Amino acid sequence: MQKLRDFCEHALSDPESFWRTQASLIHWSKPFKKAINAENPPFASYFEDGHTNLCYNAVDRHLEDRANQAALIYVSGETGIDKTFSFADLHREVTRCAALLRAKGVMQGERVLLYLPMIPEAVFVMLACVRIGAVHSVVFGGFASQALADRIDDLRPSIIVAADAGLRGGKVVNYKKLLDSALTLVSHQVATVLLVNRGLLDDLPLEPDRDQDYHAALETIDEHEVPVVWLESSAPSYVLYTSGTTGAPKGVQRDTGGYSVALAASMRHIYDGRPGETMFSTSDIGWVVGHSYIVYGPLLAGMATILYEGTPLYPDAGIWWRTISKHKPTVLFSSPTGMRLFKTEDPTHISENDRSSLRHVFLAGEPLDEATAKWASEALGVEVKDHFWQTETGWSILCPLPGVEEHPLKWGSPSFAAYGYDVRIIDEATGHSVSPGDKGMLAIRWPLPPGAMTTIWGDDERFEQTYFRTYSHNGGDEVFYLTFDFAICDDEGYHYLLGRSDDVINVAGHRLGTREIEATLCELVEVAEAAVVGVTHEVKGQQPIAFLVTRTKDFAADFAIEHVRQTLGAIASPGMVYVVSALPKTRSGKILRRVLRSIAEGEDPGDLPTIEDGSIVERLQEELRAS
């Protein structure tokens, strides 16, 4: 493992020369002066004074060598469409869209919100935005009106691009209705909504002046040559909302140059993908994996990317595997939940489809248990690689680096810190590293490498206060970024994740803040108090369970579940709602969610020195048995 150690060691000991080398993987219209500026903690900037453009690097740059090579392969399990766009096709579609955005008055630095399913137009709009320096923000199609409205008010976009509807497992999800209802809840007024009409709704009411058909609007555009706008490396490329410990979603903001370099480097060193090959990431463009490894990463590397619409099991459990057999990706990126789903399906769906193109299978988003890792490795015929990262970092923190050097994997471990991350397992109170094998908070010594979030949209202070802690050691200050994940590191340097330290849960690889769900439940007049916890789920990893104290006795739990579904979306809706007489609290009035989790999982909550009323545990256990 010497090569790998040297590589990572170089990144930490001389980041200036390391990242300068990586920066040559992309095109700069104006060279940068310094690779890294770490003079203003916790804000770091990369490649200052350099000018580049994400769209140019992802699309235009490849026209010379691979104009006719596949760039975007759109496969829909829902409609049966299987359509390939070459780099030349992609360039044409993106410039048309950029021209349209320009014609609608979208200027550099303005925001464009996308509420779109997994259709090619979503990729075109994202690339068109970064082409002209507009900042995109994709809101996951599974989010319903209130969640969408909160994001609109925070982002203040000048334009929204949406679709009539999405499809999931053969069912139509009416995006337009959800959007219309969100737009009645917002205080920020959006002047223009461009609608991609897929013809999925019988009735598509258009708001005069505001709503315009995307494709019809494209037809009215004459000028289709839109040159890229060269941007300062630190110019924001996008904002992506993620859940935190408060109800208010956080807009993770990313730069342009640092992100481009980080992704280009990761495609080579982590995913070991090569130009001309294909990558299949099974995520959604509404999540960070979709941004980094459906859209930008593979395209920056000159690879084709598969954009898959639908669920893994529709029209049947063979759809992903037929897609792999047909389009021959060399890299598959999925989640543990994605794999667990197939455990109970007919194994021939996998075995009868050719998977020999797969060089690497990476899984992320949630803990990968040993049983699933072993099962998937055997079923796929490729040893699956766990890797760990967060929306905030944009790319992997802990991972194998097969593009540098292969090393033996250990079950249950995403291996070592990636180059550029000075990962420590610390005692959160003191900032000191714990001993090998001891549990602590997984922290990253500042500065974070390029590609990581640069701030929270519109709120530098929240960024600083949420993520960073300064510890004084031996007369000097050390600044750490906290991941809010507990972990241990063994004496060979392999890391093991032990779950979150905050109120964020992980449902099928999707991150949800329990506080947001609680706030939604409390909107119901019948609900006096609500507590939501994540409990273990066989397929999804975790699922939210709600405990409600209600004002009326005959409160229907289904009503609460439906309310969350309507407000936040299906992924957030609780798997179970328990109506209870009281919630366990500390003497200072904090809800003891850990106790509720133990009770819901049928475990003994153990010692409870801070609980106000110890008898409540037994009462709750009885109430759960009776419900």
- Between residue 395 and residue 424, which ones bind ligand AMP under the rule CB under 6 A? 414
Q: How far apart are CA 544 and CA 531, in angstroms?
A: 10
Of 497 and 527, which CB lies nearer to ligand AMP in the complex structure? Answer: 497
Report how many residues bind ligand AMP under the rule CB under 6 A: 20
How would you class 468 by CB atoms within 10 Å of its CB: exposed for 0-12, middle for 13-18, buried for 19 or more? middle
Q: How far is the CB of 437 from ligand AMP (least distance, A)?
A: 18
176 binds ligand AMP (CB under 6 A): no
290 binds ligand AMP (CB under 6 A): no
360 binds ligand AMP (CB under 6 A): no
569 binds ligand AMP (CB under 6 A): no
Structure tokens at 172: 């139509």
Distance of CA 64 to the CA centre of its chain: 32
574 close to 536: Cβ distance less than 8 angstroms = no
* Other CB atoms within 10 Å distance of the CB of residue 247: 16
Stretch that binds ligand AMP, among 137-145, 359-367, 447-455, 607-615 (CB under 6 A): 359-367
Among the listed residues 195, 288, 306, 571, the single contact to ligand AMP using CB under 6 A: 288
Give the Å distances, CA to CA, from 274 to 128, 240, 325, 355, 364: 25, 27, 19, 18, 21
How would you class 411 by CB atoms within 10 Å of its CB: exposed for 0-12, middle for 13-18, buried for 19 or more? middle
The phi, psi pair for 144, rounded to 5°, reads -95, -170
Among the listed residues 136, 198, 250, 511, the single contact to ligand AMP using CB under 6 A: 511
Q: How far is the CB of 72 from ligand AMP (least distance, A)?
A: 23
150 binds ligand AMP (CB under 6 A): no
162 close to 196: Cβ distance less than 8 angstroms = yes
Burial 369-399 (b: 16+ CB within 10 A, else e): eeebbebbbebbebbbbbbbbbbbbbbbbbb
Among the listed residues 57, 137, 233, 242, the single contact to ligand AMP using CB under 6 A: 242
Reduced 3-state DSSP string for 189-230:
CCCEEEEECCCCCCCCCCCCCCEEEHHHHHHCCCCCCCCCCC
388 binds ligand AMP (CB under 6 A): yes
Of 304 and 364, which CB lies nearer to ligand AMP in the complex structure? Answer: 364
500 binds ligand AMP (CB under 6 A): yes
495 binds ligand AMP (CB under 6 A): no
Among the listed residues 266, 391, 520, 543, the single contact to ligand AMP using CB under 6 A: 391
483 binds ligand AMP (CB under 6 A): yes
Stretch that binds ligand AMP, among 145-153, 377-385, 388-396, 415-423 (CB under 6 A): 388-396
297 binds ligand AMP (CB under 6 A): no
Reduced 3-state DSSP string for 527-570:
EEEEEEEEEEECCCEEEEEEEEEECCCCCCHHHHHHHHHHHCCH
Q: How far is the CB of 405 from ligand AMP (least distance, A)?
A: 20
506 binds ligand AMP (CB under 6 A): yes
Of 75 and 508, which CB lies nearer to ligand AMP in the complex structure? Answer: 508
- Report the interface residues with ligand AMP, using CB under 6 A: 242, 288, 364-368, 386-391, 414, 483, 485, 497, 500, 506, 511
